[in-house]
Structure 1
Amino acid sequence: MPRGELRIYLGAAPGVGKTYAMLEEARRRAGRGTDVVIGLVETHGRRHTAAMLGDLEVVPRRTMTYRGVAFTEMDLDAVLRRRPDIAVVDELAHTNIPGCRNAKRWQDVQQLLDAGISVLTTVNIQHLESLNDVVTRITGAEQRETLPDAIVRAAEQVELVDMTPEALRRRMAHGNIYQPEKIDAALGNYFRTGNLTALRELALLWLADKVEDQLDKYRADHAIDSTWETRERIVVALTGGLEGDTLIRRASRIAARTKGADLLAVHVARSDGLAGADPAALAKQRVLVESLGGSYHQVVGADIPQAVLDFARGANATQIVLGASRRGRFAQILSAGVGVTTIARSGSIDVHLVSHEHAGRGRRRGPMPAALSRSRRVAGFLTALLGLPLLVALLKVGPQLSLTNDILLFLAAVVGVALIGGLWPALLAAVGASLALNWFFTPPLFRFTIAEVQNLLALAIFVTVAVAVSWVVDTAARKTRQAAQASADAQTLATVAGSVLRGERPLIALLDRLRETFGLDSVTLIDDGTVVAAVGHPVCVAPVDADVEVKADETLTVLLRGRILEASDRRIVEAFAAQAAVALKQERLATEAAAAKPLAEADRLRTALLAAVSHDLRTPLAAATAAVAGLRSRDIQLDDEDRDELLATTDESLGRLDRLVANLLDMSRLQAGALGVVAIDVGAEDVVPRALDEIGPDGHDVTVHVPDDLPPLHADPGLLERILVNIVTNALRHSPPGRPPVITGSSHGDTVELRVIDHGPGIPHDRWDDVFLPFQRLGDRDTGTGVGLGLALSRGLTEAMGGTLTPDETPGGGLTMILALPAGGMA
């Protein structure tokens, strides 16, 4: 059975019209004769969206009860039994009620697709797992419901439903998205113009990446390797040379000329695995690339121009930046070089050949390291000096052989010397052997002349083969030594990376690993003469005291004390130094972030306070103002019942306003440490009724079970009453009709507990601490009243009196708040 197709309508924020567009498509499909059913659509009370349902067939929802509250979910089994061509399923990221077949709605959709049913669905950008933390930082609102990006990326079609921030805010102001009482708070919080602009850009960029993936797949499926200039991508090729910084900055300027252009740096490592580029220089250049917003890549290849072009074509790059050749003029005559070869093979990719101050000056090469140790070279020379006379004596004393055999024996001797001592002893042996063959074995004997041409040719071949074999043996030994050194360097750097990743302080771990690796007494990092980190003893604090000094960047220097390092070791130390600069930068950024966190938290609270208070002060004020205006109006005739109702409204609104202001003042005093607490022994039977009276008519519905023999509480009566008002008000807000909260009391040793029990939907255990955060409401439980301050204030007031306020689960569903205070006479 073929799998169904998934079409997703992606939006930057609620209200942009995703569900409306989805239903438009559903109606078009149904009009063309396709079997379409509505699995689940959330209209959220929006009349235009509800009207789009029209005569489309709707599969009845499944009603479920969770913690005493009824919920409706999509009836997955019913949709599967119905087996339409297309099912419309809204809100892909939705979390199903416990008891459903799947935990997430996207899992329901996967089952529909597996059954061959195509699906139309919707999702907002903030629900994507990869962007969830970014959206939280932008909006200040954490989104609990997420889904993996892979689900959306795997969709056959993703359509962006776009709307400008200004148009979306107008829709909000006209009441087309939220209920009127929530509009002001929404416009001042999540739906600020800046937030919507950022979310819109996130949606556009994410969709652009999705389209890019589709384009890459299309090009791969159709074997298209030519560049399609859909987006500017600049590739800069790095060799690890001194010109690298110049090339990177030039490429960055080219990328900056086009909005959204990508900068990619690539280094081609030798395919033989031997060290070629300076690892320290490459590490610094990698940091520079990333600081300019680019990415660093490394590929392996023997043909450098081809490897660069293969990478560029694979990345669909439009331009390549190369440095002008550092080789001298004579070398450029003999070989075209990387730049010229790349240009010749580049095809439609533009190639920039950038001049720099090191161009044409030749490559800086250090002294070529000896392939073999000193002792082996000495042994090779001794073998040549002693072995050749011995071989001559043996051939003269022994049976006479032909010249060909003599040449073969001397060639074997030269090869033996090459294996023992390398190139120079072998060259000495080759020269000595050729002279010996000419003098002792080639007619006329004992003269450096050769009578026959073929003998001359044989000696010439002998010398050529001897030199070639010596060169090959020496080269193989040198490569072996270089490979061993490269392997050791790679293992050292890998160990460094592992220790840094595992360490809590990467910089200290890096310096300590450097000291341990090279057996140093101390390693010190200084910044413009100031010590910023050091390990070992005694610590080196000045360049004059150091045995080795290595620059990490313009201002940072690593000082080593203990021994002088070899040139090959110094390259690895330079790589350590470059990483130390990165680690120091990360530590400083972490410190700055930690210092900014309290300020950011204060700003978040201030923003939340202004947003919440702007709405929640206005609501009771508006109600009271309207009631007073009605009472004062001379154009309206009011009877006693209407007048009493307006007075009651005024009284209730002013009471809400009074409680809100009192909570704000108390929270301010509490955070400033200026809240006065006067604790005395007070009975629960006195405080609880006063708190319920302050709540108003709803408070009289609360059931109270406080034992007559309950010990008094040692508390501030006014603060205790405030705590109870906030807790009970919160419980009333979430209690189902006909099941009001219950207050019970009990004593446990030197503690008295008052429990406020409700039978509402409850709160997941992992979110119990969230209810005590200031200006927080738990997502979809926002009732439009209060600033989310009551429980935070209640816990603060309780702790100020030496007590605790903790949540617990109500048996059968709901939330119980346990207020524990010292018993009277025990404090």
Structure 2
Amino acid sequence: MGRGRLRIYLGAAPGVGKTYAMLAEGARRLARGTDVVVGYVETHDRPKTAGLVKGLEVVPRKAMSYRGTAFTELDVDAVIARAPQVALVDELAHTNVPGGRNDKRWQDVEAILDAGIDVITTVNVQHLESVNDVVEQITGVPQRETVPDEVVRRADQVELVDMTPEALRRRMAHGNIYAPEKIDAALGNYFRVGNLTALRELALLWLAGKVDDQLDRYRADHDIQRTWEARERVVVALTGGPEGDTLIRRAARIADRGKGADLLAVHVTRSDGLTDADPANLTRQRALVESLGGTYHQVVGTNVPDAVLDFARGVNATQLVLGASRRGRVAQIFSRGVGVTTTARSGPIDVHLVTHEEVNQGRRWKALRSAWGVPAKRRNAGFVLAAVLLSLLTLVLDQARGTVSLTSDILIFQAAVIGVALVGGLYPALFAAITGSLLLNYYFTPPLHTFTVHAPEAFFQLVVYVVVGVTVSTIVDLTARRSRQVAQAQTDSQILSTLAGDILRGDSATGRDRRALVEIMERLRETFALETVTLLERGPGEPVAHRGPGSWLVAASVGGAPCTSPDKGESDVLIDDTLALVLRGRALPASDRRVLEAFAAQAAVALRHQRLAEAAEQVRPLAAADKMRTALLNAVSHDLRTPLASAKAAVDSLRSPDVSWSEEDQDELVATAAASLDRLDRLVANLLDMSRLQAGSLGMSLRKVAAEDAVPRALADVADADVELRIPEGLPEMVADPALLERVLVNLIANAVRYNPAGTPVLVTASAHAERLELRVIDRGPGISPEDRDRVFEPFQRLGDRDNHTGVGLGLALSRGLTEAMGGSMRIEETPGGGLTMVLDLPTRQPEDAGPAMLDRAAAWRDPIGAEQGERL
């Protein structure tokens, strides 16, 4: 019999219904006449799940005993002996009781599959080996039972069983997953909305990877080379030239026309390490691609069209964007170029040839001169060596005439030509070859002392000498030049790699707090042993062509005294119309220009990032202060005047000589005045505390506080509060300021009582989680819409007040500020079944920066523009 087929229901989280889906599939197959048995299923006392089991044949479990306790496990031998067509086996990641056939249930399933029986099973995403540690970091709950990813990837079918976090929490609240006594603890710990959302994303990403693997495997099994347009992918090929910006923007527009299309940029590096690409251009173009939502890739290949097409086919690209050829018209006669060649071989991939300013420009004369390879000094030395060496050889061989044959003379001269090529390059070697042929003809070829050759053999020897000399000289010069280029390329790569690593790590000899701009400039100064590196910025209003001393401002400088204009240094790089990098200390050779331009491009990016960050920091407090002042004036204009007016009216009534008040009326007026003044006192106290929080001057005394002590004290300050406490015993103590904590709890409980329906108590629970303690204040009121949940923590916000004439909306804002000042956090969750849950999260371990420093950690909260500031702490 062949191996059975494996179908897996992958659950995004516990309780989403994977076991129910497995049993429902088994029931459908049974109804179609398939022989189906239940090998092992765990219903967890869920009625609907247990109801599906009743209609299926169940193979008896194997009874086992371990350390005096009875267990039941999957009986693999009984299932194989029963030999059904399909076996249903729950909980693939389960660890068996020691002493059984296998250690893990997935090994039991493998044995059943090997027996030719199809298996339908279940597993949750948190049990996959590859994401096990990630799940523990997210949920704080270690998963000891795991299954290798390869086992699940080998499955013939994997179906995701998913549910939104809100729907799953409602199922939990309705008692469809756990027993009632476990619901609150589960909702407050593992089944948080954030945890469930993260688990859901992990499951979707993992399954998407398996789907891609299945598609790649299918294409490989069926030898499918053509592109399948399952998803639009646009690839743009970059040469490192200035036209790359145009190509990237064109490719981005093409990708935008297809919703959800991927944008990928690729640069082909030659396998010999030699390239004409400009690192500065590639750095800028990589940043441009990533800013447009694309990705940058670099591949190695000897043939550019083949490398580009291999990459495009490898990523299943549907469109390819290339630039029109930069080569001159003469060069295009001898070779079609990369664009034309790639288009001819692209097959089903659509190719866009984009014109640009560099089309048909060819290679400039300066670039050709730099390609000659050897410096002028070496070329001059080669010419001198050729003249001296050939003269000496002519004298020596002329003295040895008669003892050395013409063939030997030619070989000796040939060796001299190779030596000249090694020293001076191609052109001195060509000079040596031609001059040597003339000397051989004049001094050693009969008739002597003439340029006439009578013997055909001698003439042939001289011709071969010249051809061989030119050929060998060309090869030797090319090899020497390539070796130097490779060495230079390796040096440049090491420098740029070090630069990138330093920027990412933030390493520096003077500490980790130095800015990226200074890091780049300091690295440049050290690399090339320079005295000063200065980044200049053109002054406002200065013409672009002006390079004089008065037209530049120093943006940054390292080393000695900064240069004040580009003409003050030995080398300079104009980054753009407004920025220039100036070097002083020594002149850099042209071979270092590429690396220098890469440093300059990175410095410009770092400067712009620094300016943006500085501008954002300057604007943020101004906007925050303006919003605070506006809101405060609006609040003061009404909410502070109302209790003051009530108190003044009561006092004026008591002082009125025209009315004779009874003792009962006088008590009522005094009570009204006192209540109004108390309310006014609370409002002023909240405003003062808010000001202290924003100024960072609120005093605190952090110490251990038990939840069972803090909550009852807060309840004593909430009049007529119908509150139910569910605080388990043995919880760790939280670190907080007792007085501030009590104020926070009073605000939260009073707010919940205010909105809770009459006759329904407010529920206060506590739970510990990963060195944190959570206090949850749960009401059954109308709740708050998701889009307003962040606004409720902003000062002077009153969303959906039943009585909009009380309070300035500082209660929750102040509570969150106090909580974050103590090193905690506050958030809002929806109560399953309706209502609002306020979650107060505080540490259970004394932080290292406890005390005044804790206020600095709450500095982000001082910006009332965005309530998400507290989430960043």
Aligned to 1:640: none
Secondary structure of 1:40's aligned partner: coil
Does residue 1:438 correspond to 2:448, yes or no?
Answer: no
Q: Quote how far apart the aligned CAs of 1:239 are.
A: 0.7
Structure 1 residues 157, 690: CA separation in 2 closer, same or farther (over 3 Å shift)? closer
Aligned to 1:456: 459
CA-to-partner distance for each residue in 1:722-767, whole Å, 9 max, x for gaps? 99x99xxxxxxxxxxxxxxxxxxxxxxxxxxxxxxxxx99846x43
Kindly indicate whether the alpha-carbon contact (under 8 Å) linking 1:777 and 1:788 is maintained by their aligned counterparts in 2: yes
Secondary structure of 1:160's aligned partner: strand
Aligned to 1:393: 395
Aligned to 1:225: 225
Structure 1 residues 531, 148: CA separation in 2 closer, same or farther (over 3 Å shift)? farther
Aligned counterpart in structure 2 of residue 383 of structure 1, from 382, 385, 401: 385
Does residue 1:575 correspond to 2:598, yes or no?
Answer: yes
Does residue 1:535 correspond to 2:545, yes or no?
Answer: no
Aligned to 1:310: 310
For residues 702 and 480 of structure 1, what CA distance do their matches in structure 2 show? 75
Structure 1 residues 124, 702: CA separation in 2 closer, same or farther (over 3 Å shift)? closer
Aligned to 1:214: 214
Letter in 2 for 1:36: V
Secondary structure of 2:347's aligned partner: coil
Aligned counterpart in structure 2 of residue 562 of structure 1, from 578, 585, 588: 585
Q: Quote how far apart the aligned CAs of 1:269 are.
A: 1.1
Aligned to 2:499: 496
Question: Equivalences for 1:650-799 in 2 at 5 Å?
Answer: 763=768, 766-768=770-772, 773=824, 787=837
Structure 1 residues 450, 545: CA separation in 2 closer, same or farther (over 3 Å shift)? closer
Kindly indicate whether the alpha-carbon contact (under 8 Å) linking 2:270 and 2:301 is maintained by their aligned counterparts in 1: yes
Q: Quote how far apart the aligned CAs of 1:494 are.
A: 2.3
Letter in 2 for 1:232: E
Structure 1 residues 676, 556: CA separation in 2 closer, same or farther (over 3 Å shift)? closer
Kindly indicate whether the alpha-carbon contact (under 8 Å) linking 1:521 and 1:536 is maintained by their aligned counterparts in 2: yes
For residues 684 and 54 of structure 2, what CA distance do their matches in structure 1 show? 52
Does residue 1:279 correspond to 2:274, yes or no?
Answer: no
Q: Quote how far apart the aligned CAs of 1:266 are.
A: 1.3
TM-score normalised to structure 2 length: 0.61
Letter in 2 for 1:495: T
For residues 271 and 678 of structure 1, what CA distance do their matches in structure 2 show? 64
Secondary structure of 2:36's aligned partner: coil
For residues 81 and 446 of structure 1, what CA distance do their matches in structure 2 show? 106
Letter in 2 for 1:228: W
Question: Equivalences for 1:59-78 in 2 at 5 Å?
Answer: 77-78=73-74
CA-to-partner distance for each residue in 1:433-472, whole Å, 9 max, x for gaps? 2222222233333222222333333222222222222222
Letter in 1 for 2:559: G
Aligned to 1:319: 319
Larger relative contact order (Cα-Cα within 8 Å, sequence gap ≥ 6): 1
Question: Equivalences for 1:244-393 in 2 at 5 Å?
Answer: 244-364=244-364, 366=367, 367-368=369-370, 371-372=373-374, 376-393=378-395
Unaligned runs of 5+ in 1: 65-71, 599-662, 704-713, 727-759, 803-827
Secondary structure of 1:405's aligned partner: helix
Structure 1 residues 19, 565: CA separation in 2 closer, same or farther (over 3 Å shift)? same
Structure 1 residues 340, 318: CA separation in 2 closer, same or farther (over 3 Å shift)? same
Q: Quote how far apart the aligned CAs of 1:292 are.
A: 1.5
Aligned to 1:514: 524
For residues 678 and 211 of structure 1, what CA distance do their matches in structure 2 show? 55
Kindly indicate whether the alpha-carbon contact (under 8 Å) linking 2:36 and 2:88 is maintained by their aligned counterparts in 1: no
For residues 556 and 424 of structure 2, what CA distance do their matches in structure 1 show? 47
Letter in 2 for 1:121: T
Moved more, 504-513 or 481-490: 504-513
Kindly indicate whether the alpha-carbon contact (under 8 Å) linking 1:22 and 1:121 is maintained by their aligned counterparts in 2: yes
For residues 518 and 700 of structure 1, what CA distance do their matches in structure 2 show? 69
Aligned counterpart in structure 2 of residue 429 of structure 1, from 422, 426, 432: 432
Structure 1 residues 109, 531: CA separation in 2 closer, same or farther (over 3 Å shift)? farther
For residues 89 and 686 of structure 2, what CA distance do their matches in structure 1 show? 48
Kindly indicate whether the alpha-carbon contact (under 8 Å) linking 1:553 and 1:578 is maintained by their aligned counterparts in 2: no
Secondary structure of 1:298's aligned partner: strand
Q: Quote how far apart the aligned CAs of 1:516 are.
A: 0.6
Aligned to 1:406: 409
Q: Quote how far apart the aligned CAs of 1:76 are.
A: 7.8
CA-to-partner distance for each residue in 1:638-664, whole Å, 9 max, x for gaps? xxxxxxxxxxxxxxxxxxxxxxxxx99
CA-to-partner distance for each residue in 1:601-629, whole Å, 9 max, x for gaps? xxxxxxxxxxxxxxxxxxxxxxxxxxxxx
Aligned to 1:653: none
For residues 34 and 442 of structure 1, what CA distance do their matches in structure 2 show? 101
Question: Equivalences for 1:523-672 in 2 at 5 Å?
Answer: 523-525=533-535, 534-540=557-563, 547-550=570-573, 557-581=580-604
For residues 3 and 251 of structure 1, what CA distance do their matches in structure 2 show? 48
Moved more, 548-557 or 668-677: 668-677
Aligned to 1:469: 472
Kindly indicate whether the alpha-carbon contact (under 8 Å) linking 1:39 and 1:59 is maintained by their aligned counterparts in 2: no
For residues 191 and 205 of structure 1, what CA distance do their matches in structure 2 show? 20
For residues 217 and 442 of structure 1, what CA distance do their matches in structure 2 show? 72
For residues 673 and 440 of structure 1, what CA distance do their matches in structure 2 show? 103
Kindly indicate whether the alpha-carbon contact (under 8 Å) linking 1:523 and 1:558 is maintained by their aligned counterparts in 2: yes
Aligned to 1:610: none
CA-to-partner distance for each residue in 1:474-498, whole Å, 9 max, x for gaps? 2222112111111111121222233
For residues 666 and 80 of structure 1, what CA distance do their matches in structure 2 show? 71
| Root mean square deviation of aligned Cα | 6.1
Letter in 2 for 1:450: V
Unaligned runs of 5+ in 2: 81-85, 114-118, 540-552, 622-681, 730-736, 750-764, 776-822, 853-873
Structure 1 residues 322, 793: CA separation in 2 closer, same or farther (over 3 Å shift)? closer
For residues 424 and 443 of structure 2, what CA distance do their matches in structure 1 show? 26
Structure 1 residues 283, 41: CA separation in 2 closer, same or farther (over 3 Å shift)? farther
Q: Quote how far apart the aligned CAs of 1:510 are.
A: 2.8
Kindly indicate whether the alpha-carbon contact (under 8 Å) linking 2:11 and 2:122 is maintained by their aligned counterparts in 1: no
For residues 310 and 239 of structure 2, what CA distance do their matches in structure 1 show? 17
Q: Quote how far apart the aligned CAs of 1:404 are.
A: 3.2
Does residue 1:478 correspond to 2:478, yes or no?
Answer: no
For residues 701 and 281 of structure 1, what CA distance do their matches in structure 2 show? 63
Secondary structure of 1:348's aligned partner: coil
For residues 229 and 726 of structure 2, what CA distance do their matches in structure 1 show? 72
Q: Quote how far apart the aligned CAs of 1:668 are.
A: 11
Kindly indicate whether the alpha-carbon contact (under 8 Å) linking 1:35 and 1:86 is maintained by their aligned counterparts in 2: yes
Report the number of matched residues. 658
For residues 700 and 524 of structure 2, what CA distance do their matches in structure 1 show? 61
Structure 1 residues 304, 110: CA separation in 2 closer, same or farther (over 3 Å shift)? same
For residues 77 and 174 of structure 2, what CA distance do their matches in structure 1 show? 41
Kindly indicate whether the alpha-carbon contact (under 8 Å) linking 1:548 and 1:565 is maintained by their aligned counterparts in 2: yes
Q: Quote how far apart the aligned CAs of 1:8 are.
A: 3.7
Aligned counterpart in structure 1 of residue 422 of structure 2, from 419, 423, 447: 419
Kindly indicate whether the alpha-carbon contact (under 8 Å) linking 1:677 and 1:716 is maintained by their aligned counterparts in 2: no
TM-score normalised to structure 1 length: 0.64
Aligned to 1:89: 90
Q: Quote how far apart the aligned CAs of 1:212 are.
A: 1.6
Letter in 1 for 2:417: V
For residues 346 and 82 of structure 1, what CA distance do their matches in structure 2 show? 58
Moved more, 566-575 or 222-231: 222-231
